[in-house]
Each structure stands twice: as C-alpha cells, then as structure tokens.
Structure 1
Amino acid sequence: MTGIHSPPGNSRRATGAHGARETGDAAVTVQAKKIALYVLVVFVLYVIITDPAKAADYVQIGFEGISSAAQSVGDFMTWVANGGE
C-alpha cells in the first residue's frame, strides 16, 4: 500500500492531487500537461508584453470564433426544435 503512511522507498506509484494513485505513464502525462500549460502561459504573457495591439487582435479573433460557434449551435437547436424542417 502506498501513500502518506508508507515507508520511504517502498512506493512504486505517485499519489495524485485527488488521492488517486497514478502509474508511471499517467504521472508523466500529468507532468507533460503542466509543462505545456506553463509554456503556453509564458508565451501569452510574452505576446501581451511585447505587442499589446497584436494580442488584442488575437483575443478579438478568439471571441469572434466562440461567438460564431455559439450562434451555429443556437441555429442548430432552433432547427431541431422546429422538427428539422
């Protein structure tokens, strides 16, 4: 059994944030996701600091895409509610 009460060196699995035991591959995947998120945040901050106007354009493009997607979902739901006609 692994966890907080196990003697040091006897643990083969890492314990996750929610108490779940992670195997080696899962722990590596979680670590890779953390690193990727860190790199993304650093890149976003870099773009904002070096070129705020370009960063604002990117934000506008992103919100336009989200708005368009939401409009399309709404149109589809309206079509379904009307019986698909």
Structure 2
Amino acid sequence: MAQARRIGMYLLLIFVVYTIIHSPARAAELVQSGFVGISDAAKSVGAFMTGLVK
C-alpha cells in the first residue's frame, strides 16, 4: 500500500511539472482559481460565524 501511494505521488508530481512546463499560463490560472476558491470559502465561514454571534 505504501509503495502504491509513493508511485501515485510521483505520478502526480510528474503531471504537475509537465503541466507547468507545457502551459505555464494555464497552470497559473488553475493555482489562482484555487486560491480564489479558498478565499471565498474563508469569507463564507467568517460570515457564518458573524451571523451566529449577532
């Protein structure tokens, strides 16, 4: 099981490096959209907590 996980991690790393080299603009877009999603989620949790306090 541990070896399968290691192989999966290597494959994921190879895919990420390939994507960055092959299309850096698209890779940057994906990272940016990921951070926007995390930011939106944090804002939503903050709004929820604020609503609980009021």
TM-score (norm. length: structure 2): 0.85
Residue among 42, 49, 53 paired with 2:25: 53
Residue among 40, 43, 47 paired with 2:15: 43
Gaps of 5+ in 2: none
What is the deviation of 1:81?
A: 1.2
- For CA contacts below 8 A with separation 6 or more, give which structure has more relative contact order: 2
Match of 1:32 in 2: 4
| Larger strand share, 1 or 2 | 1
What is the deviation of 1:32?
A: 2.6
What is the deviation of 1:38?
A: 1.6
Pick the structure with greater CA Rg. 1
Gaps of 5+ in 1: 1-27
Q: For each residue in 1:36-71, what CA deviation from the matched residue of structure 2 results, as whole angstroms up to 9, or x when unmatched?
A: 222111111100001100001101110110011111
TM-score (norm. length: structure 1): 0.58
* 2-structure distance, mates of 1:76, 1:32: 40
Report how many aligned residue pairs link the two structures: 54
* RMSD (CA atoms): 1.1
1:54 counterpart SS class: helix
Identity %: 54
